[in-house]
Amino acid sequence: MKEQTFEQALEQLESLVRELENGEIELNDAVTKYNEGMKLSKYCHDLLKDAEGVIVKMMKDDKLVDFKE
């Protein structure tokens, strides 16, 4: 998966969910899209976890730190 922002990944994930919920795709395509959606979900989760770590560190240290994008 190429590097993308949280917002881009979430938008792509939401699009995949809409396609899967539509139910008009073949099983093989659905499985492929589901797998891609799971990867996007993990990517978004990891970005949120990193952001949480930065916020916790800022609160503990009472200073600003760089957030990796």
Percent of the chain scoring above 90 in pLDDT? 68
Report the number of secondary-structure helices (H) and strands (E) in the chain: 2, 0
pLDDT tens track for 16-29: 999 999 989 999 99
pLDDT at 55: 83
Domain 6-61: which topology?
A: Helix Hairpins (1.10.287)
**How sure is the predictor about 6, in pLDDT bands with cuts at 50, 70 and 90?**
very high
* 3-state secondary structure at position 61: helix
**What per-residue string of b and e applies to 6-32 under the rule 16 or more CB within 10 Å gives b?**
eeebbebbeebeeeeeeeeeeeeeeee
Cβ–Cβ under 8 Å, residues 40 and 13 = yes
